[in-house]
Amino acid sequence: MIRWAAPPRRPLRRQPATLVALAWLALVVTAALAAPALAPQGPLAADAARALLPPGRGAPLGTDFIGRDILARLVWGGRWTLQMSAVALALAVGLGLPVGLSAGSLGGRVETLLMRLVDALLAFPTLLLALTVVAVLGRGLGPVALAVGLASAPPYARVARSVTREVRRQPYILAARAVGASSWRIALRHILPNAAPTLIAFAATQFGWVLLNGAALNFLGLGAPLGAPEWGAMLAEGRGYLRDAPWASFFPGLVLTLTVLSANLVSDGLQEASGQQ
């Protein structure tokens, strides 16, 4: 049977999946902040006698190839991974939003010029662009955050511009113009607030993306220094022991996936709550 009618919209509090996702994100952030209290031994405490222990007593998620506790490393690693993603997201929004907003609200030559530049950057696939930036800046967690942030700015500018253009067509913008509001006032006081739901939802999606891409660069060995408990780097380290100690790569990947999934679910939930599909 085919259902032809469109579904109704749902407020955030009536979306259990979104609430669970928010709770997981809160848990991950809290754990990262409380790392010194939760895992006082630190992420680097090694014990060769306890190498490659399976999950169980003493090590809830097992230990890695030099006997470091995986759970402790994941909790501490949240600091590395989340910080990297936060910097990258701030960069993507901080660069993309002003460009997209001014292109979309000012129009004309400014728009053509800005969007041509964005198009040229979009011609580079995100991860390839990030890899190029890392190639120029050299390896390290800072360059990776910078690279992923820069590479995510063009898509954000694109979306910001298209939402802005949509909002600009609304009658209340015409009304604001009619009473003599300046272009900047219209952009900041009228367009921005009304574009906010989409902009926030897309920022949530982007958070998932920068997390995924940042961890990918770390997985490829271009970011965090050797032995650092960054999630992607942990996954790469555990990969050598896939046969004997699958937990060493399974749990970092699981935490990463759940976090990205939560970001995507929150984004979907926000869109559904504001009536967009």
Partner 1 sequence: MTVRYIGQRLLEVLLVLWLAATLAFGALQWAPGDPAQVLLAASGASPQEVAALRQRLGLDDPPLQQYLRYLLDLVRGDLGRSWLHGRPVGRMIAEQFPSTAALALAATSIGVLLGVSLGTLAAIRRTTWLDKAITALAVLGLSTPIYWSGLLAILLFSLTLRWLPATGEGTWRHLLLPALTLGITLSGAIARVVRVRVGEALSQPYVTAARARGLPPLWVLVVHVLRVALGPAVAVTALQFGFLLGGAVVTESVFARRGLGRLLLGAIVSRDMPVVRGVVLVGALSYVLVNLLGDAVQAWLDPRLRDRAP
* Binding-site ranges for partner 1 (CB under 8 A): 1-7, 17, 116-117, 119-121, 123-129, 131-136, 138-139, 208, 212-213, 215-216, 219-222, 232, 235-236, 239, 242-243, 246, 249-250, 253-254, 256-257, 260-261, 263-265, 268, 277
| Residue 197 neighbours by CB under 8 Å, 6+ apart | 270, 271, 274, 276
Give 149 or 192: the residue with its C-beta nearer to partner 1.
149
In angstroms, the CA 118 to CA 194 distance is 23
* Smallest distance, partner 1 to C-beta of residue 134, A: 6
Give 58 or 108: the residue with its C-beta nearer to partner 1.
108
Instruction: Answer for the pair 67, 50: CB distance below 8 angstroms, yes or no.
Output: yes
Tokens 């680097």 identify what position? 44
Please report which residue ranges of the chain form alpha helices under DSSP H.
16-33, 35-38, 70-106, 108-122, 126-137, 141-168, 171-178, 183-185, 192-219, 231-238, 247-273
Give 64 or 186: the residue with its C-beta nearer to partner 1.
64
Q: What is the dihedral of CA 219, 223, 225, 226, to 10 degrees?
A: 20
* Smallest distance, partner 1 to C-beta of residue 231, A: 9
* Smallest distance, partner 1 to C-beta of residue 243, A: 5
Give 91 or 245: the residue with its C-beta nearer to partner 1.
245
| Residue 243 neighbours by CB under 8 Å, 6+ apart | none
* Smallest distance, partner 1 to C-beta of residue 161, A: 15
* Smallest distance, partner 1 to C-beta of residue 207, A: 11
Give 153 or 256: the residue with its C-beta nearer to partner 1.
256
In angstroms, the CA 216 to CA 84 distance is 12
Give 256 or 273: the residue with its C-beta nearer to partner 1.
256
* Smallest distance, partner 1 to C-beta of residue 156, A: 15
User: Concatenated DSSP letters for 159-209?
Assistant: HHHHHHHHHHTSHHHHHHHHTT--HHHIIIIIIHHHHHHHHHHHHHHHHHH
